Amino acid sequence: MSFGIARELLDAAKDAQLGDEELIAVVLALSVVLGALPRTVKLAYTEFAKNGWFGLSIKPLTKSSRNVSGILAFITLLVDIARRISVSITVQLLAANVRARQPQRAVRIVSLLAVAVFFLFLEATSSMGKKRNLA
């Protein structure tokens, strides 16, 4: 799916006379913003609830209410899905760019492996500071 979306984005960028590098930068920036959005939404929700704005209130946490539910959980899930899709599209765009620009097969393979390792490292380090629920 992400390959098809990336191909359509590349075609649209060519129609709009936008370079591949600029398109990759835009999609990567979107991925970064979507990566930061869930924490921002949770912090904003907590602040609104503390102040009683928009009719929100903080309920004491019990064992059964530890999981976030409701609209906040739904928005967090949608943003996480969008972030994963945008990262996947970014990888596909980078792979297409490498394939188009590198004439030698060995250089393409090493470049694609470097892209894969970079994004695996990025994904692994993005969750380092998060608390894990072990219960």
- Residue 107: CB partners within 8 Å, gap ≥ 6? none
User: Are the C-beta atoms of 97 and 6 separated by less than 8 Å?
Assistant: no
Q: How far apart are CA 43 and CA 3, in angstroms?
A: 34
Which position has the higher pLDDT, 122 or 17?
17
Residue 91 lies in a domain: yes
Is pLDDT of 11 > 50?
yes
b or e along 97-116 (b: 16 or more beta carbons within 10 Å of the residue's beta carbon)?
A: bbeeeeeeeeebeebbeebe
Residue 33 lies in a domain: yes
Residue 114 lies in a domain: yes
Lowest mean per-residue pLDDT among 15-19, 69-73, 108-112: 69-73
pLDDT digits (tens, 9 = 90+) for 31-72: 888 877 877 877 877 777 777 666 666 654 444 444 556 777
Residue 131 lies in a domain: no
pTM, 2 dp: 0.65
Residue 104 lies in a domain: yes
Residue 134 lies in a domain: no
Q: Which domain holds residue 100?
A: 2-125
Residue 12 lies in a domain: yes
How many domains does the chain contain in total? 1
- Residue 91: CB partners within 8 Å, gap ≥ 6? 2, 115, 116, 119
What CA dihedral angle connects 69, 74, 79 and 81, to 10 degrees?
Answer: 110
Residue 130 lies in a domain: no
